[in-house]
Amino acid sequence: MELLWLAVSTIAIGVFGCVAWFWGSNWLLDRIFPPRGGKAGDNIRRANQIRPWLFLGPAILFLGAYLVYPVLDSFWRSLFNANGTRFVGADNYVWLVNDAKFRESMVNNMMWLLVVPALSTVFGLIAAQLTDRLKWGNIGKSLIFMPMAISFVGAGVIWKFIYEYRASGETQIGLLNWIVTQLGGEPQIWLTLPMWNNLLLMIVLVWIQTGFAMVILSAALRGIPEETIEAAILDGASSLQVFFKIKVPQIMGTIAVVWTTITIVVLKVFDIVFVMTNGQWGTQVLANLMYDWMFRGTPDYGRGSAIAIVLMILVTPIMVWNIYNARKEVR
């Protein structure tokens, strides 16, 4: 009950603070630059130039406190030893290059980058196209989008049960092993099989992200001018030709944004691996490796911070590219 009251009071304080800031900043701005009198025009112009910064100010402040400062602090910590008492320079980064688990994590992350964004975008595009053509399309969209409402931890638990193993002769509660045994095969401990275990983990994220891709791409498909589609049909184009040669080229920018957004999610993937394999059997990824060094056994904040900086370096160019494209489309 105390936690409930704490949550409610926090929300109430936040909402009241936003309203008070909105009203107070406008009131103060109108007193400094009154929208009346002989200089009313100049005052209104100046107030309009300042007003956006009054509302952006708190957001920029909090972003600086919760984003910029942790990045700088992580970089500084990565230059020190395990407990932060001795400056070691670039030693932690040299260790990363020579560490077998880090190389394994990089290879696995690259595999995730090749598979998950591609499959999620393709399946999302197919789902968006097909559900728009069906009477029960909205129901289909809801079912496909539903995994997005599940946390990564919850999804990992669900799929761990799907891959669950029981010894031969016992009742298989895992769906995958049940299907295999029904077809006459032997049950497998799927999450311990090299290469296959990584692909099985990727399926979980594809299952989650397909709904996101479908919603965005469905909106993009509906925004295509009907005239172009009708003209193609009148010229004798088939449904496949209309889709691949008319629709897809017109939404290529949206496809790229969806692809890169999922790529950022993939680079940060942690929960699924942590819940299902904990990075064992050749499934280690960068985020889970960082967690291991930061919080397991005897923590090594220097090495953990170095891995965090590598993750940030990998994610930043994609974020910059996304922002650049968004600004270009607005213009």
Q: For residue 257, give both structure tokens.
A: 């944004």
Any bridge partners for residue 87, and if so which? 80
Cα distance between residue 91 and residue 300, in whole Å: 13
Residue 134 Rama label (left phi>0; alpha psi -120 to 50; beta): beta
Q: Looking at the predicted structure, is the pLDDT value of residue 330 above 70?
A: no
Mean pLDDT of 300-326: 83
Cα distance between residue 123 and residue 206, in whole Å: 9
Mean pLDDT in the chain? 84
Instruction: Read off the pLDDT of residues 209-226 as tens digits, 9 standing for 90 and up.
Output: 998 999 888 888 888 888
Per-residue confidence band for 254, with pLDDT thresholds at 50, 70 and 90: confident
Q: Looking at the predicted structure, is the pLDDT value of residue 236 above 90?
A: no
Q: At what angle do helices 196-222 and 152-162 cross, to 10 degrees?
A: 130
SS3 93: helix
Q: What local confidence, expressed as pLDDT, does residue 130 receive?
A: 84
Q: What percent of the chain has pLDDT over 70?
A: 97
Q: For residue 2, give both structure tokens.
A: 């105390």
Q: What local confidence, expressed as pLDDT, does residue 86 receive?
A: 86
Per-residue confidence band for 205, with pLDDT thresholds at 50, 70 and 90: very high
Q: What percent of the chain has pLDDT over 90?
A: 8
| pTM, rounded to two decimals | 0.79
Q: What local confidence, expressed as pLDDT, does residue 329 receive?
A: 63
Cα distance between residue 331 and residue 325, in whole Å: 10
CB 64 within 8 A of CB 278: no
Instruction: Read off the pLDDT of residues 67-76 as tens digits, 9 standing for 90 and up.
Output: 888 888 888 8
Q: For residue 69, give both structure tokens.
A: 């400062």
CB neighbourhood size of 159 (10 A): 24
Per-residue confidence band for 138, with pLDDT thresholds at 50, 70 and 90: confident
Q: Looking at the predicted structure, is the pLDDT value of residue 120 above 90?
A: yes
Q: What local confidence, expressed as pLDDT, does residue 312 receive?
A: 86
